[in-house]
Structure 1
């Protein structure tokens, strides 16, 4: 069935997938203490319930995006949902912590496949321009809503039905999306490329996975090995007949800058949610459920602002909107950091600056996604999706590692509310530095004019596919 008759329904399905993936991350984090008590594992084992997911997700995004281009976007989307559902069921049945960690790694793999394919399908369904901006706004809104929804549902389900129910909710939602996908998404795809860059796929995936492992587990040897593999990957790509990431792609200045800005955005934003949740619980004494609800006003502002981002881009331009977004992110983080108080309340410390951050979040997310995907041809939608999602995922992991280390170093051995508040404040100010750097860099963001944005094949000649108009059928990359 052609999605040209049902673009709204297709967008609703793809945005719901984004909601599922973000909710899945948050919902399990809330259930972690109950998991530890039930399975008898300590903090080290519990950390891997989250880390296994992050490493698999971050390591496989690039490969997943490219595989979607070659194997079919809807096919990989359904495969990812099936793997996510099966892994969630395994997690819900896990008798030991080791079993659960393996299930979480499989969940991360399924999320990478489904997430990269869903983003690529959105790029194909909505050509570059106002329609895509609105669609990306819907994605940003669902991401903001998913963070809070996952936190709230995690607290409710864990309290009422136990932590295993959080995994079974993922099974049910993934199955619903899987049933609807064949009805709403076109399965047409181009024929597979004449060759596949197996050495590039192996070195990229292993390198990204090792770097992710090093960031979440602070392993310098793993990090060095991962960087070495990524260097080897870059070398191999210059000699591969059918590279996983064609070198010409990296010669696009706007793409490089946009991916860097996407990473910086997540380096500031992702740890902010974590730190605010900790502050509300450990300093102000909120329960996990009420701590999660404390982020609800921010999410409601995200949902309200995201659909308007496309109109703002049309009115003042992409570059100015990006600068505005990062400037507001910087101001919101500084305001939040200075407002924190060991003797404060939610209303006097977190509420007002979180509303400003709720405006900034969709601005920076939508504009960086627009810039990172604007030059992608139909044959590169999966690749563009994999690149920007990888940038965002590694920005999240790196930002969390850096800001938590800063907070811990500042807090020291004293666990008093005053010491913890000081640590959170210093960490948030560090995040504000990332936002300030991104604001300065985003002023240099320039997309080439349409006549100059023709992609080049390896030989340096314009690609024949570049002259082909973008298709409106989801999955059709002919």
Structure 2
């Protein structure tokens, strides 16, 4: 089977003479035909590997933070910004990054994203102070925001046959989920055996391989625009600054009261900018986000599921890492190994969901997956500080991992089903944005819930739990249990949102 050139409704740019990249799919041109003889699996390998690298980097840095602090003398605020700088840039620019692939060509944008991500990783690995490291992490987030939506849009435009697309999305979802789950393990191994710098350096050889593979396997498509001034600059600025401001405010709530000016002001500014963005898009001649895309009920509902599930499941990995290390005394490597069973079930769930979605459509899985995940979180919320990993944590984490795997593929399938090729990147950026913004909001809210519960049991500040002996461990465990319980409710709400996804007609199902 051979890879085909993604089609766009915009065609070639009439303001310039045609180039070999503009030759239509059935051309007899030898070089273009040779490029198209690349098998589909090569595109899948490249897209899945890029997704793994981007998602891995969300969590791989966490276990290296203590070593970074010791080596560079990071402040407490600086330590938080090593994580938050990446999250802010990634979430704020995902929508623009997704649309850029549609407008400027997916191969071109993919290569830019890989190059920026790899270069920022290299620079960050050589960081000598706090500002250097934080700036490099922000640049990584920009590269990730360009790269992540491109991986999904490449698959949806390459695999046009429903059964093949479902299988490809199954692999993509499994690899991406494994990247998030394995971050702690990979980070622990690299930090213990080499140094914290290698949690950044590891991206460089992978990025080089991806760039070489993409240059060979991906087929260039004619851009819809050829000049930056053709881009919807007002809309791009409004949505990017709006999302960044909202995420900044939410992230600030992890260390400040929700009623503080440092939280409320950026939240209000972000909401105003997002309203402004909608007004701009209604009048823009070439909008960044054509608002008509939200008339697709499957896309809108899938984004709602991504938002709610992201709120709960990002917190699952975060809380479980703390439960294992702070309550049960695991080191970084042991905690990473403890996540492997959940990661295995996540991968298995992704493969199962890719097959079932061909027969049932995405809606049944988008209802079932969140309910399975919610049951795992609910089960985890009953754990105690004196319990064991095997006795109280192993099985519920596996159930939660299975639910995540069952959910990831149908979310992507529903969000991109029936979307024209020229809007595939936009649809990918939307669903990734919903997941990331949901994760940031959920983590801030549920961290506050957990800290409040712990502080209430100790009669003071939750930060003193580590010095309070067995009572402190019990209070920490109770706080995390409360956060997981609320997270279970939020994830279960995602199953209700999934009921809005249109049912797949029987005639369209694979028999």
- Please, what TM-score do these two structures have when normalized by structure 1? 0.91
Map of 1:150 onto structure 2: 183
User: Are 2:464 and 1:429 aligned?
Assistant: no
Aligned 1:327-346 pairs, distance under 5 A: 327-338=371-382, 340-346=383-389
User: Are 2:352 and 1:308 aligned?
Assistant: yes
Q: Using a 3 Å threshold, how does the CA distance of structure 1 residues 367 and 151 change in structure 2: closer, same or farther?
A: same
Map of 2:423 onto structure 1: 380
Map of 2:14 onto structure 1: none
Stretches of structure 1 that go unaligned for 5 or more consecutive residues are 452-478
After TM superposition, give the deviation of residue 253 of structure 1 in Å: 2.3
Map of 2:283 onto structure 1: 239
Higher Rg of the two aligned structures: 2
Partner Cα distance (2:395, 2:504) in 1 = 38
CA contact (8 A) 1:116 1:389 kept: yes
Aligned 1:452-471 pairs, distance under 5 A: none
Partner Cα distance (2:269, 2:506) in 1 = 40
Map of 1:25 onto structure 2: 58
After TM superposition, give the deviation of residue 317 of structure 1 in Å: 3.3
After TM superposition, give the deviation of residue 401 of structure 1 in Å: 0.7
In terms of mean alpha carbon deviation, does 410-419 or 77-86 score higher?
A: 410-419
After TM superposition, give the deviation of residue 264 of structure 1 in Å: 0.8
User: Are 2:219 and 1:186 aligned?
Assistant: yes
The one of 216, 227, 230 equivalent to 2:274 is: 230
CA contact (8 A) 1:371 1:447 kept: no
CA contact (8 A) 1:277 1:291 kept: yes
CA contact (8 A) 1:373 1:381 kept: yes
Map of 1:297 onto structure 2: 341
After TM superposition, give the deviation of residue 439 of structure 1 in Å: 1.3
After TM superposition, give the deviation of residue 450 of structure 1 in Å: 12
After TM superposition, give the deviation of residue 305 of structure 1 in Å: 2.4
Please state whether the residue corresponding to 1:344 is helix, strand or coil.
coil
Map of 1:220 onto structure 2: 264
Q: Using a 3 Å threshold, how does the CA distance of structure 1 residues 433 and 3 change in structure 2: closer, same or farther?
A: farther
After TM superposition, give the deviation of residue 45 of structure 1 in Å: 0.8
Map of 1:402 onto structure 2: 445
After TM superposition, give the deviation of residue 61 of structure 1 in Å: 0.6
The number of aligned residues is 450
After TM superposition, give the deviation of residue 312 of structure 1 in Å: 1.3
- 1:417-436 CA distances to partner (integer Å, 9 max, x unpaired)? 11011101110011111122
Map of 2:502 onto structure 1: 446
Q: Using a 3 Å threshold, how does the CA distance of structure 1 residues 273 and 329 change in structure 2: closer, same or farther?
A: same
- Please, what TM-score do these two structures have when normalized by structure 2? 0.85
After TM superposition, give the deviation of residue 133 of structure 1 in Å: 1.6
Partner Cα distance (1:128, 1:357) in 2 = 31
Q: Using a 3 Å threshold, how does the CA distance of structure 1 residues 193 and 379 change in structure 2: closer, same or farther?
A: farther
Partner Cα distance (2:427, 2:62) in 1 = 29
In terms of mean alpha carbon deviation, does 210-219 or 415-424 score higher?
A: 210-219
Task: Name which structure has the greater RCO, CA cutoff 8 Å, separation 6+.
Answer: 1
CA contact (8 A) 2:361 2:503 kept: no
Q: Using a 3 Å threshold, how does the CA distance of structure 1 residues 365 and 3 change in structure 2: closer, same or farther?
A: farther
Stretches of structure 2 that go unaligned for 5 or more consecutive residues are 1-33, 254-262, 456-460, 466-471
Question: What value does the CA root-mean-square deviation take over the aligned residues?
Answer: 1.8
Map of 1:465 onto structure 2: none
The one of 296, 321, 344 equivalent to 1:252 is: 296
CA contact (8 A) 2:58 2:183 kept: yes
